Structure 1
Amino acid sequence: MQLSPTIFRKTISSRKLIYALWSLAALVVAITKAAPHRHNNYIIFRSSFYHFSSFQPLYLSYPSEHHDRFLYGPVFPILFAPFALLPDFIGMFLWLCLSVAGCLWAVRMLPTTEKKKITILWIAFLDLYTALCMQQLNVLIGACILLSFIMVEKKREWAAALFIALGTLTKIYGIVGLVFFPFAAKKGRYLAWLFLWFGIIGFLPILLGGGSYVFEQYSSWIDCLGGKNTENFFSLSQNVSLLGIVRKVSGSTEYSDLLLLLPGIVLFALPFIRFRQYRSTTFRMNILASTLLFTILFSTGSESSTYIIALLGVGIWFAHPARGKVNWLDIALLVGTLLLSSLSPTDLFPAAIRKNVIQPFAMKALFPSFIWIKICIDLLRTNFVSTETNTQRTQTNDSN
């Protein structure tokens, strides 16, 4: 029996199928990572709760308990408490389920069509699995960034501010949600909610752990992140970014990352001066895609498991082409991303190329970097309002 193109299209267009695959990924990862030495990051998260509960330093190494160090904000151990108090397998499984459910909910809430949401979920699927295998927070951070945008779109300033505060005070990446401020309808209310939520959530550890201890942990967190930046320069598993490509290919420590970061910020920020384009949904969705990619491509802390954030951006970009239609360059960039970025951490990719080319030179970031640059150029050059109006007019004529 042959699988006809029509049946194939209907299959991959099924919301139930992609939802089932995302949900199944949580169960598969929980089972395959059940052995103690295979869920190190979950152990780090669980240990952070017990360290906080006993007023121990959060940011020291504890080699007798786990490898690596805890790097998230002092708020995180409190939020992780419901999972830390459960047996390991159950806690880890529920943690992975929460990650998947949070990200699915965020994508489901995007102001776009069902078909485009399914496209985004398919494009991000492999990197979702990679992130789940590391039991990382990145899936939920991606969801927080999406939701900070979505709630601005829905004019729910209180909720947008909540997700920014949650994302920032657990992992600093969440702060990029602030870039959606220009799209907010009631900017004064938005700022008021930001101050309120940062105050409430930031004060929560102080309420439970005492002022002197928690202030010391906040200070240590900032110091830890600053020191980690230099450590990441030539790490095989870190600095998987546009910054990392230049650093690792050149092999140089003589220049500052600001040499790339400042032009990157300018290129990222310039589209925001195109105020007349704000009323285009496609323009705003491309801003969202640019933000998700920028967060990863300009961070020395980027690693393979953070690319769920970037691939959500790739999916949003591909589902919302600037000129209304996907062209051959878009397809080539997407294929390159899926092969070199999404597949490279898996056993389906040749190990020799992964170990000798992809990892040493941060090539996982190559095609996402091309996509980000293309998004920025499109955001500066394309008349999104005109393109959107013409597309809607064509669709209306076709329906008549």
Structure 2
Amino acid sequence: MAKFDLSFFYNKRNLYILGFLLAFVVTFMEVSRGRHLNFLAFADSTIDFWRGVSPYTPEFVSSHMRFFLYTPVFSVLFTPFAVLPAWLGPFVWNLLNYTMFFAAVFTLPARFTHDQKCRIFLYTLPILAQSLLSFQYNIPVAYIFLFSYSLLERNKGFWAVLLIMVSGLTKIYGIFSLALLVCYPRFWRNAGYVVLTGGVLFLLPALKLPLSGLIPYYGEWLNALAVHQSDQTYESLFYAQPLAEWLLPNFRVLQIGSLAVLALLFLVSRRKWDTAAFRAQALGILMGWVVLFSDSSEKHTYIIALAGFMLWYWSRPVRTRTDKALFWGNFVLLGLVPIDLICPVPVMRCITQTLWLHVWFFCFTWLRMVWLTFFCPVAEFPDSSAAGAETADSSRPAQPGDTLDIVCPCYNPNADFISHLACSLAELRGFYPDKRLHLIVANDGSSRNFGKEEHDQLLRTIPDAEIVDIPHGGKGAAIRAGLARSQAPFAIYTDIDMPYAKESMRQVIDRVFDGCDVVIAVRNASYHSKLPPMRKLMSHGSRMLNRFFLNTRYTDTQGGLKGLSPAARNVMRRTRIPDFLFDTEFIMLAERSKGLRIEEVETTLREGVVMSKMSGDVLVRELKNFFRIAFGV
């Protein structure tokens, strides 16, 4: 029997489409049956707010069969959804929240590998579907936790604080992540952002209410929070049998006490604050606490807790059998058991309402998270298995006699390209008399200046050269074909006319020989001064798009000269873009692969080089490729 191909589930686009279809079907099922009651409560409370009617009244509870527990700020922010047609608003709400949660997972810092992000998404997908089924606000709370963490890791303090304050001033869960600000640089600047954004958001309901009415309105919300516990039995620790009779009456003391203990443990662990793994694990613990110790958690609220557990789990250097048992146990009890299509209702009720296994199991998980994070040494992020596979053929410094492969893609070259290529290669070989520089020319289906005559002439001029002929597929395809032939421990690729100054090429080769995995040629001002207007526009535009959309530290990805170790060549094999932006795809993949050493070298063009022009059609094609990268890497 053929082995099931799991690669489908490690493709970002496939996962997004799979989840999107699930979100759409779930939304359609509930809307068509009129069971989108939470959304209707959100919409009606928002309309009531703009009409000057309070949603925190017994009348609202009676008519909607639920308390409205969100702040006036929520009513203002929910307005765009409330004013949409009744059939459209629920779809926009659910599909937008699904998309944002997906984006939050896949924009986690690069310390989490691509495969780990795919696993995080798949792990949380069942409980995400449950939250979508209920049109809940827990999904935004979960993705705001993830987004704010990623922004803080990237030193985007203002945006992280803004998201935290939006979460905290709509549903209080998110406000607790402000504690992590002490782990990051510029604490006082971020504290100022808290005051600024918090003040603006707090006053946001003044768009409708008089300033004198703000405090009483917030008071009505606090009163609703104080009395809603009598509404139903919730799924937090305080309701778990057989201890609920003691836990529930003392829930406020236990909330404050547990938070105080966490704060103390966090403070005494200050030496770990600079450790990225500790910050991820501390956030995971906090996300578990806001659910486990809440007085109004529901089953789908655990999407917040499970997302935090994933941060904790995948940042651990060693995942023991106990950790793996907790991994699968929580997935089954919190992800699968509540779905009646998977678990028969009598069994589900026994597990969740009689035995309360799901709450006690996660409680044990959370306590283990606390113990290992605060009482045991915290190591940095481990290499994933995927990254380990990529770096198995690790780079090393060069030794006398080592070979460097120089891959040159070629498409309709100049008529005299062979003599120039031979001269440039001879100059480079002169720099490294104790090494072997081997030329690989990848002919990209040239229709002129590279027929049989040029083949023979090239091999006569450079006898040890190797020629790879492929159908015309683009520069990226040619580079991959040439590197596939490379057997040397070191390699670079550059254009067939070797346009870079020899000293620049020597700097790149030196870095490769020193054991660097990826060496990126960064083009200086003199390089850009020689570019035609369209290519100059593309160059600067590419760097801007890389910075703002791909959030990469290596923005100059399009220089046609790079050095690669065997591990980096394994990454190159994963690229798919056929044209010029294969470079960007490669750098994005390399940056997200653990264990690769990446360096930049400033380079310049040699004298007399004239850069070719590029048409508008190429610009349009490369823009399409860019968005393929943005959604695919």
Please indicate, yes or no, whether the TM-score normalized by the shorter chain is above 0.5: yes
Q: Is the 8 A contact 1:42 1:92 kept in 2?
A: yes
Q: Deviations over 1:66-113 (max 9, x none)?
A: 321211010111111111111122110000112112212222221122
Aligned partner of residue 360 in structure 2, secondary structure? helix
CA distance in 2, matches of 1:133, 1:393: 39
Cα deviation for residue 189 of structure 1 reads: 0.7
Matched with 2:372 is 378
Cα deviation for residue 289 of structure 1 reads: 1.1
CA 1:386–1:19: 2 relative to 1, 3 Å:
closer
Matched with 2:187 is 187
- The answer as to 2:362 corresponding to 1:364 is no
Matched with 2:23 is 26
Matched with 1:113 is 113
- The answer as to 2:154 corresponding to 1:154 is yes
Alpha-carbon RMSD across the aligned residues, in angstroms, is 2.6
Aligned AA (2:101) = C
Gaps of 5+ in 1: none
TM-score, normalization: structure 1? 0.89
Q: Which has the larger radius of gyration?
A: 2
- The answer as to 2:284 corresponding to 1:289 is yes
Cα deviation for residue 387 of structure 1 reads: 7.7
Q: Deviations over 1:299-322 (max 9, x none)?
A: 01111121111111122222222x
Counterpart of 1:79 (choices 63, 77, 80) is 77
Aligned AA (2:103) = W
Aligned residue-pair number:
388
Matched with 2:224 is 224
CA 1:220–1:344: 2 relative to 1, 3 Å:
same
Aligned partner of residue 188 in structure 1, secondary structure? helix
Q: Pairwise mapping of residues 85-96 of structure 1 onto structure 2 (< 5 A)?
A: 85-96=83-94
Q: Deviations over 1:213-242 (max 9, x none)?
A: 43322111111112224x26xx33x1x122
Aligned partner of residue 88 in structure 1, secondary structure? coil
- The answer as to 2:270 corresponding to 1:245 is no
> Following TM superposition, where does structure 1 have runs of at least 4 consecutive aligned residues deviating by more than 6 angstroms?
391-397
CA 1:47–1:36: 2 relative to 1, 3 Å:
farther
- Structure with greater contact order relative to length (CA < 8 Å, sep ≥ 6): 1
Aligned partner of residue 62 in structure 1, secondary structure? helix
Q: Is the 8 A contact 1:165 1:194 kept in 2?
A: yes
CA distance in 2, matches of 1:147, 1:97: 18
Q: Is the 8 A contact 2:276 2:380 kept in 1?
A: no
Matched with 1:211 is 211
CA 1:250–1:223: 2 relative to 1, 3 Å:
closer
Aligned partner of residue 323 in structure 2, secondary structure? helix
Aligned partner of residue 121 in structure 1, secondary structure? helix
Q: Is the 8 A contact 1:282 1:388 kept in 2?
A: no
Aligned AA (2:320) = N
Cα deviation for residue 16 of structure 1 reads: 2.2
Cα deviation for residue 3 of structure 1 reads: 4.5
**Greater helix content:** 1
- The answer as to 2:55 corresponding to 1:55 is no
Matched with 1:338 is 331
**Greater strand content:** 2
CA 1:349–1:276: 2 relative to 1, 3 Å:
same
Cα deviation for residue 376 of structure 1 reads: 0.8
Aligned AA (2:19) = W
Q: Is the 8 A contact 1:149 1:160 kept in 2?
A: yes
Counterpart of 2:349 (choices 349, 355, 365) is 355
Q: Is the 8 A contact 2:56 2:67 kept in 1?
A: yes
Aligned partner of residue 37 in structure 1, secondary structure? coil
Bigger drift between 74-83 and 376-385 goes to 376-385
Aligned AA (1:4) = K
Q: Is the 8 A contact 1:337 1:367 kept in 2?
A: yes
CA 1:360–1:172: 2 relative to 1, 3 Å:
farther
CA distance in 2, matches of 1:254, 1:41: 26
Aligned AA (1:78) = V
TM-score, normalization: structure 2? 0.58
CA 1:109–1:386: 2 relative to 1, 3 Å:
closer
Identical amino acids, percent of aligned pairs: 27
Aligned AA (1:257) = F
CA 1:84–1:339: 2 relative to 1, 3 Å:
same
Counterpart of 2:250 (choices 249, 256, 260) is 256
CA 1:220–1:3: 2 relative to 1, 3 Å:
farther
